[in-house]
A and B are shown apart, each in its own frame.
Chain A
């Protein structure tokens, strides 16, 4: 037995010994896994229904893109991967995406498209110049008018029409700090919003959802226009077409990603967004109500806090009402209340699940 064999045998024995004493307790009951699995399936199906037919063709793009030569694998398959050769792209862009310090260096995401006979596009995406294994791949059937969200490791790319001026990404899972870079693909009249999480895989935070915004501030999801309300000072509140999400512009950017939240069936939702305003902190408290609303007030548990403005405006085309109160000073548990169409008083407390 040569020295290498001896060491390999020793290593095997040590690994087996360590593994034999490892806990085999999963930590949760199987029912919990089934529950999580079903929930992910439902969300996955809803989000990717349009793309499901294309899944079989995903993951041949890395070689095409000229990046690493790692072939992607299909579950349960041991056959060689399909390799597609594309001699020319109709559009291609390399986007430098900043990282989050030494642990997450910057990377270059390459996005390329070829035109399909149906007038749609096939998209190739992969990371180049990164030591990380790329999971780049291709997906067909991109309708330029609808846009498409694609993921690659800690990167998510929303391809939207060139007229899109803003975009926002959100997830039920925790994406951490998200930065984004915008790149144009003028040859195909598309704009790429390239988001990067702070290192966590965007797939593990799935389901991801996104919206892009027209120049007038209207959010677009799945090709459908949502609604937008502007309060008297110009601050925008937007609601997606399905009522699934809304947000409020923040001082730090045109879209309040942090204020995105699922609308509740009965009440809607609300959030308090801090806005530095000189030496005074201005809090904006808002709610979207699936009803008409009047006589809206803001209350802070009896504390005397001057309310600068309170407004309630109909959200066009929805039958809902947006209520917003602007309050000076640091406040806790702001409570919005209003009279609904049933003549009764209703309330929403920011931070409380309704």
Chain B
């Protein structure tokens, strides 16, 4: 039993090191805040650990991402509708336009309803297919298509408006 636990913990530890960057990036897009993202990823990993024996080899990241996108943290709820954008790195090589683009997409994502935001992140950042996105969120493919359409319409309008405001 002790040997089993040691093996399980070793495998899980390796998985945490491997998966954390990817999960943190997705969580940051979903929450708009590093702190909320950390809480979300920590909680998701703990849940994944409790189910580790049920996770099929090679599916741990997809399974944990599924937990992540289906979980709502208190911090996330408290900041819903708001967005806390981290300060840009203090580097001379930073391209200001890149920072603006990054802040813009995080800010606009935060305006979307939660399910639309999740769909956008899974489809256009994680590059999941409609089927895989539907599986991750427990939705039908048609629901994913509908959410995607509404989110993209909103985002496209927001992008255009921001461009016009900038002129």
Contact = CB atoms under 8 A, between A and B. Distances in A.
Interface string A1-32: 00010011011111111111111111110100
Given A7-B159, A28-B42, A76-B54, A14 B28 contact: no
Nearest to B52: A37
Contacts of A28: 38, 42
Nearest to B49: A37
B-side interface size class: 35 or more
B20 A26 contact: yes
Contacts of A69: 140
B105 A72 contact: no
Interface string A196-212: 00011100100000000
B160 to A, nearest CB: 9
Contact of B124 (A8, A20, A26, A38): A8
A11 B63 contact: no
A26 B42 contact: yes
Interface string A70-86: 11110111100000000
Contacts of B51: 75
Nearest to B15: A30
B46 A75 contact: no
A199 B77 contact: yes
Contacts of A20: 25
Interface string A35-60: 01110110010000000000000000
Given A22-B34, A30-B13, A72 B25 contact: no
A174 to B, nearest CB: 8
A201 B72 contact: yes
B124 A15 contact: yes
Interface centre among A15, A16, A133, A199 (most CB of B within 10 A): A15
B29 A19 contact: yes
Nearest to B17: A30
Nearest to A76: B56
B25 A22 contact: yes
B59 A19 contact: no
Contacts, number: 142
B41 interface: yes
B121 interface: yes
Contacts of B50: 37, 40-41, 44
B82 interface: no
A215 interface: no
Contacts of B73: 204
Given A24-B25, A27-B38, A73-B66, A11 B105 contact: yes
A228 B29 CA distance: 52
Contacts of A16: 125
Contacts of B54: 75-76
Contacts of B140: 69-70
B26 interface: yes
27 contacts: A7-B152, A11-B105, A15-B120, A15-B121, A15-B124, A17-B98, A18-B103, A19-B26, A19-B125, A21-B88, A22-B29, A22-B86, A23-B86, A24-B20, A25-B24, A26-B24, A30-B13, A33-B16, A34-B12, A34-B13, A40-B49, A75-B55, A75-B63, A76-B55, A76-B62, A76-B63, A133-B138
6 nearest A-B pairs in the assembled complex, by CB-CB distance: A37-B49, A27-B38, A22-B28, A14-B105, A76-B56, A19-B25
